[in-house]
């Protein structure tokens, strides 16, 4: 199987000096100026559920945010009104969590095993950063990689559309029935797993399949990983 693709962009510590002759009543308390290491800040988190049929979830939904130098938050529970993650809806949360600097990546998951959840994107605003994590995928035990969570990578650049062309070789006897994915790595970041799905028959012997998939901007493309989940009857 060979693959080619292109990308179209849218668009001091305080010091105290006390005289030897000063009495205790003239001494002023020292006020620390450095924040404790475990201090928390406010994150504004926006979650967009896709507008596909039955794409909402009853949750609960959790997010873990990662920064540089192995800094990360704990699992943060996203809650709200009844069924906030309904089909096509965008919901915003204000959550206090440890300061991890600029968000680099996240892990988002839900625990509704009865229904899948289609996540469009997650957006995090903190400090002066607005970072978007594009998903465009199902978190479901019956779709894609059959997982309820995903690792997503962030960028401050607008999302882009990747035009992907896959050529299946002549040694493929039966049509592949396992979910196929591609992950794109660039100079600034990487996409999550992008599942290549088509209503038409794909990945058959000598077939060329084309896909247009929206995801985060990785900068100049350097390498890819392409594979399938091995969940079907044919490999």
What is the domain extent for residue 136?
2-7+41-228
Q: Residue 60: is the preceding peptide bond cis (ω within 30°)?
A: yes
C-beta neighbour count of 102 within 10 angstroms: 15
Residues of the chain with pLDDT under 70: 1-38, 80-83, 173, 175, 198-201, 230-235
| Number of separate domains in the chain | 1
Phi, psi angles (nearest 5°) of residue 67:
-115, -155
First to last CA, the chain: 12
pTM of model > 0.75: no
Nearest to 185 by CA among 10, 7, 66, 1: 7
- Residue 139 domain-assigned (yes or no): yes
Please give the Cα distance from 147 to 235 (Å, whole number).
20
- Residue 169 domain-assigned (yes or no): yes
Q: Tokens 């229904």 — which residue? A: 115
- Residue 171 domain-assigned (yes or no): yes
Size of the chain, expressed as the number of residues it contains: 235
Annotate 163-226 with DSSP letters as a single string: EEEEE--TT--S---S-EEEEEEESS-B---EE---SS--S-TT-EEEEEEEE---SSEEEEEE
**What is the pLDDT, as a whole number, of residue 38?**
59
- Residue 126 domain-assigned (yes or no): yes
Question: What CATH number corresponds to the domain at position 51?
Answer: 2.60.60.20
- Residue 30 domain-assigned (yes or no): no
**What is the pLDDT, as a whole number, of residue 199?**
64
pLDDT digit string (tens) for 166-204?
988 888 767 677 788 899 999 988 998 898 886 665 777
- Residue 26 domain-assigned (yes or no): no
**What is the pLDDT, as a whole number, of residue 6?**
60
- Residue 36 domain-assigned (yes or no): no
- Residue 86 domain-assigned (yes or no): yes
């Amino acid at each position: 199987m060979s693959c080619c693709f292109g990308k179209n962009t849218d668009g001091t510590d305080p010091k105290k000096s006390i005289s030897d002759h000063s009495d205790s009543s003239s001494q002023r308390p020292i006020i620390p100026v450095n924040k404790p290491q475990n201090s928390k800040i406010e994150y504004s988190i926006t979650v967009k559920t896709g507008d596909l049929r039955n794409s909402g979830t009853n949750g609960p939904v959790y997010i873990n945010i990662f920064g540089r130098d192995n800094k990360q938050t704990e699992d943060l529970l996203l809650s709200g009104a009844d069924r906030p993650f309904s089909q096509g809806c965008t919901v915003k949360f204000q959550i206090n969590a440890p300061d991890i600097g600029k968000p680099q990546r996240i892990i988002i998951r839900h625990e509704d095993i009865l229904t899948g959840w289609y996540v469009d994107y997650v957006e995090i605003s903190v400090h002066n950063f607005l970072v978007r994590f594009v998903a465009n995928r199902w978190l479901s035990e019956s779709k894609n990689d059959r997982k309820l969570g995903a690792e997503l990578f962030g960028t401050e650049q607008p999302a882009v559309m990747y035009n992907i062309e896959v050529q299946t070789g002549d040694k493929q006897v039966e049509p592949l029935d396992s979910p196929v994915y591609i992950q794109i790595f660039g100079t600034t970041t990487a996409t999550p797993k992008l599942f290549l799905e088509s209503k038409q028959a794909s990945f058959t012997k000598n077939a060329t399949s084309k896909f247009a998939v929206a995801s985060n901007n990785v900068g100049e493309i350097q390498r890819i990983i392409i594979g399938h989940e091995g969940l079907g009857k044919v490999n």
